[in-house]
């Protein structure tokens, strides 16, 4: 017995290296970011010495129209993408969860975009697909004798959303498919015998049983889509103007293109607060879902 307790104490120390390294890279920089956000510190302006300015940057941000535009862009990009991914994911999962000849190939083709790095998606779509005079979509437009619109200049945020949706729908499909496969066949059969029609069956029986899976896919989708950066960087660089700048790219523009460390840091801190508020709501739901899955 004594031996066992000793063993447990020893095992406890196995968590230490992980705790130290994770704290070094997440907690300490977070505190430093808060600290930096209180200083005027512009790397490219050595003539302006580092100076404590308090909450000035926060005040300025809240009263700048640029900040609110970026805030709006982030919300639009995130929620439009999440909603579309969920709807498309449910439809695809319903089509593909059963076995039939060719389903393996269809699934393999459909999940592929998920594995592709953002920089390839962005560079390839901007140049080869959407390029206004030689891109592939230009030929398709021409074939139907439309004039090809300059999508990236006219509706940059929409194009980025489409790319996010293209990449993330397979993830939703995979998770929801696992959910559908976990519903016992008899339950769906019973609904058929009852004579309920398809839509009714999906809405009243299948969707409620999928709730856990929907929550998990939304939660993880939210975490990842809020971080969208590579796609913005490689398609529009946040432009024209600030039309397609989201929060992560706003920090990059301010701190790494404008070298304004203080302002960049204060934006980063606002992002943490907003993200955590959004995620906390869904996190509660996820914690419940995990506990239920393990019960």
List binders of other proteins among 45-84 (CB under 8 A): none
Cβ nearer to other proteins, comparing 53 with 110: 110
Of positions 102, 184, 195, 208, contacts other proteins by CB under 8 A:
102
Separation between Cα atoms, residue 169 and residue 177, nearest integer Å: 12
Residue 42 is classified by DSSP as B
Of positions 67, 79, 80, 114, contacts other proteins by CB under 8 A:
114
Site of tokens 């063993």: 7
Compute how many other C-beta atoms are within 10 angstroms of the C-beta atom of residue 99: 8
Residues 221-240 that bind other proteins (CB under 8 A): 223, 226-227, 229-230, 233-234
User: Angle, nearest 10°, between helix axes 156-182 and 103-111?
Assistant: 140
Site size for other proteins (CB under 8 A): 102
Distances (CA, A) of 167 to 84, 135, 151: 12, 20, 19
Stretch that binds other proteins, among 26-34, 44-52, 58-66, 147-155 (CB under 8 A): 26-34
Residue by residue, DSSP assigns 111-177 as: HGGGGS-HHHHHHHIIIIIS-TTTSHHHHHHHHTTPPPP-HHHH-HHHHHHHHHHHHHHHHHHHHHH
Distances (CA, A) of 121 to 124, 161, 221, 231: 5, 12, 18, 7
Which x/- pattern over 171-200 shows residues binding other proteins (rule: CB under 8 A)?
x--xx-xxx-----x---x--x--------
Cβ nearer to other proteins, comparing 2 with 185: 185
Applying CB under 8 A, does 85 fall inside the site for other proteins? no
Q: CB of 156 within 8 A of CB of 233?
A: no
Stretch that binds other proteins, among 53-61, 64-72, 152-160, 169-177 (CB under 8 A): 169-177
Of positions 7, 54, 240, 241, contacts other proteins by CB under 8 A:
7
The Cα diameter of the chain in Å comes to 83
Residues 118-147 that bind other proteins (CB under 8 A): 118-120, 122-125, 127-129, 134, 136, 139
Nearest to 54 by CA among 67, 64, 44, 40: 40
Q: What ranges in the chain are assigned the alpha helix state H? A: 2-12, 16-22, 28-36, 56-62, 65-96, 103-111, 118-124, 136-143, 151-154, 156-182, 185-193, 198-201, 207-209, 211-226, 230-235, 247-251, 261-294
Applying CB under 8 A, does 283 fall inside the site for other proteins? yes
Stretch that binds other proteins, among 56-64, 65-73, 76-84, 212-220 (CB under 8 A): 212-220
Q: Tell me the closest approach of the beta carbon of residue 220 to other proteins, in angstroms.
A: 7
Cβ nearer to other proteins, comparing 12 with 147: 12
Q: Tell me the closest approach of the beta carbon of residue 62 to other proteins, in angstroms.
A: 18
Q: Tell me the closest approach of the beta carbon of residue 115 to other proteins, in angstroms.
A: 4
Of positions 38, 86, 160, 216, contacts other proteins by CB under 8 A:
216
Applying CB under 8 A, does 264 fall inside the site for other proteins? yes
Stretch that binds other proteins, among 59-67, 76-84, 147-155, 219-227 (CB under 8 A): 219-227
């Amino acid at each position: 017995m004594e031996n066992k307790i000793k063993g447990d104490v020893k095992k406890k120390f196995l968590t230490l290296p992980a705790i130290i390294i994770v704290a070094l890279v997440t907690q300490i920089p977070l505190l430093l970011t808060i600290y930096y956000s209180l200083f005027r510190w512009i790397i490219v302006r050595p003539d302006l010495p580092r100076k404590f300015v308090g909450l000035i940057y926060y005040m300025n941000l809240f009263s700048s129209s640029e900040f609110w535009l970026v805030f709006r862009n982030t919300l639009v990009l995130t929620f439009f993408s999440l909603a579309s991914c969920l709807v498309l994911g449910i439809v695809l999962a319903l089509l593909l969860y059963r076995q039939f000849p060719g389903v393996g190939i269809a699934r393999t083709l459909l999940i592929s975009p998920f594995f592709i790095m953002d920089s390839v998606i962005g560079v390839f779509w901007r140049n080869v697909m959407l390029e206004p005079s030689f891109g592939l979509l230009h030929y398709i437009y021409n074939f139907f004798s439309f004039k090809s619109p300059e999508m990236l200049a006219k509706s940059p945020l929409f194009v980025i959303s489409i790319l996010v949706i293209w990449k993330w729908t397979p993830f939703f499909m995979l998770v929801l498919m696992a959910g559908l496969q976990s519903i016992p066949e008899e339950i769906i059969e019973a609904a058929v015998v009852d004579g309920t029609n398809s839509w009714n069956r999906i809405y009243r029986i299948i969707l409620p049983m999928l709730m856990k899976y929907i929550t998990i896919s939304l939660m993880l989708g939210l975490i990842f889509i809020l971080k969208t950066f590579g796609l913005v960087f490689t398609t529009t660089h946040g432009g024209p103007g600030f039309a397609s700048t989201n929060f992560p790219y706003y920090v990059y523009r301010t701190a790494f293109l404008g070298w304004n460390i203080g302002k960049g840091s204060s934006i980063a801190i606002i992002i943490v607060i907003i993200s955590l508020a959004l995620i906390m709501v869904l996190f509660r739901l996820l914690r419940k879902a995990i506990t239920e899955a393990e019960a």
